[in-house]
Amino acid sequence: MVDVDMNTERSTDTARYPLASDDAEWRRRLSPQEYAVLRQAGTERAFTGEYWDDHTEGIYTCRACGTELFRSDEKFDSHCGWPSFFAPLAQDRVEYIQDRTFGMVRTEVRCAACGSHLGHLFEGEGYDTPTDQRYCINSISLRRVPKNDRAE
């Protein structure tokens, strides 16, 4: 259910994230599908993930490191098949990387705490949201936790 598009820049950048782990540790902590998306910049197939059509209130944390990344308050129905947010919980929770795989220029969104791949950011698509941005995030990169009972 996961397409991997290997991002070759990834191997050199783990040292700069506060919650980074080495590759063996990620392989131990994550399922093979989680690893393929979070650590190899894979993409789960549209309409297959856990949260694309989820409307439960909560906080979405990084499935790799537990950092709070997005809130249900900024989630909206983009009908693209992946969980979509018009803004992160705070700008310092995510990092933006120019992604030139597949001959396209896209903006990759990573967890700023551990460097794991979350998805991509698209802008100016005309969605009726406050930012007209779409953080198109893999469900498998996230874990929803209740607002008043936060993980960690």
Chain positions contacting Zn ion, by CB under 5 A: 62, 64-65, 67, 111, 113-114, 116
CA distance 75 to 53: 10
> Is the Cβ of residue 113 or residue 127 nearer to Zn ion in the bound state?
113
CA distance 43 to 59: 21
CB of 103 to Zn ion, least distance (A): 28
CA distance 54 to 37: 20
> Is the Cβ of residue 21 or residue 84 nearer to Zn ion in the bound state?
21
The DSSP letter of residue 131 is S
CB of 14 to Zn ion, least distance (A): 12
CA distance 122 to 137: 11
> Is the Cβ of residue 116 or residue 127 nearer to Zn ion in the bound state?
116
Indicate if 65 belongs to the active site.
Answer: no
CB of 26 to Zn ion, least distance (A): 11
CB of 69 to Zn ion, least distance (A): 7
> Is the Cβ of residue 94 or residue 136 nearer to Zn ion in the bound state?
94
Contact 140, 33 (CB under 8 A): yes
How many CB atoms are located within 10 Å of the residue 146 CB?
11
Q: Looking at 62, 111, 114, 136, which residue is catalytic? A: 136
CA distance 7 to 137: 17
Contact 48, 1 (CB under 8 A): yes
Catalytic positions: 136
